[in-house]
Amino acid sequence: MVVDLDKLYNWPFEEIEQTYTVRDSIIYALGLGFSTNPTDDEQLNFTFEERNFKTVPTMAAVLCSPGFWLRNPDLGIAWEKVLHGEQSIELHRALPTHATVKARTRISDIIDKGEGKGALIFTERTLINVASDEALATLKSTTFARGDGGFGKTPGVQPAPHTLPNRLPDRICDLPTSPQAALVYRLSGDLNPLHAEPRVAAQVGFERPILHGLCTLGVSGHAVLKTYCGYETGRFKSLKLRFSAPVFPGEIIRTEMWRDGDQISFRARVIERDIIVLDNGLSIVDVG
């Protein structure tokens, strides 16, 4: 297939409007592993509506998603080989516990790495609270189209990743995932069978279904929220990272963090296999 660059740059994304409820916020939190200990007072505020109920900040990443649009054959992209490379979330205010939101995705840039080297596709969307017309969050994503490249665009330079400090982590937070984590998390919108059907996972080389990348992101976001924000969602301002390896449901995710002022650098690894699964992470928090 040959990528149609003009179509790609001008892809007609529709504006998506989505209503999420308290129930949706609870399902998202449970998918990340909140209330694994159901008597944890702080985490119950995200999973039991009769408490001081809050929505997990990283839920912004799953709202008004355009879906797997790169699979459209008109684009000419080898969709079977695309990977979610990077993700960022900038919170303009704390997410409401429930709301109707809208957003339109746009392509902000494309980097052609050259023939046989793939391409990077950068997308962006801003979530708007329909009731107040206020911006809630800006989401930026980088997709690595491994099977493409060399389609006529002048090769660009990939932005440099955030550099982690050269010292031992200041804090470490271990959070478990359940064996059924992907089956719960998919209820927040990503229904890719890779995360549920063992036969599909085997077809692409995995021994069993893997956890969604955005779920792994949410677990590390939870670690930052717990460790440096005291579960106060208004103090969690932003997060960005690179995905480096998949997680299998049931593994423990260890988030290693370094604080420099209001900047929290981090990476995540699974303890069982000692493999880094998220890298070059940076979160901005209100340290109080």
What pLDDT sits at residue 24?
A: 97
Q: Give the model confidence (pLDDT) of 80-113 as tens digits.
A: 778 889 999 999 999 999 999 999 999 998 888 8
What pLDDT sits at residue 204?
A: 81
How buried is residue 78: exposed, middle or buried, by Cβ count under 10 Å (0-12/13-18/19+)? middle
Mean pLDDT to the nearest integer, 151-161: 74
273 closest CA partner among 210, 182, 221, 198: 210
Q: Give the model confidence (pLDDT) of 232-251 as tens digits.
A: 999 999 999 999 999 999 99
Domains of the chain: 5-285 (3.10.129.10)
Strand, helix or coil at 99? Answer: strand
> Worst-scoring range by mean pLDDT, 18-27, 64-73, 221-230, 242-251?
64-73
Q: Is the pLDDT of residue 134 over 90?
A: yes
Strand, helix or coil at 254? Answer: strand
Q: How sure is the predictor about 192, in pLDDT bands with cuts at 50, 70 and 90?
A: confident
Q: Is the pLDDT of residue 156 over 70?
A: no
Q: Is the pLDDT of residue 153 over 70?
A: no
DSSP 208-251: S----HHHHHHHHHHHHHHHHHTT-GGGEEEEEEEE-S---TTP
Q: Is the pLDDT of residue 30 over 80?
A: yes
Catalytic (active-site) positions = 190, 195, 210, 213
Mean pLDDT to the nearest integer, 171-188: 96
121 forms beta bridges with: 110, 143
Q: How many residues does the structure list for the chain?
A: 288
What pLDDT sits at residue 52?
A: 94
Mean pLDDT to the nearest integer, 165-181: 97
Return mean pLDDT, the chain: 92
Q: Is the pLDDT of residue 4 over 80?
A: no
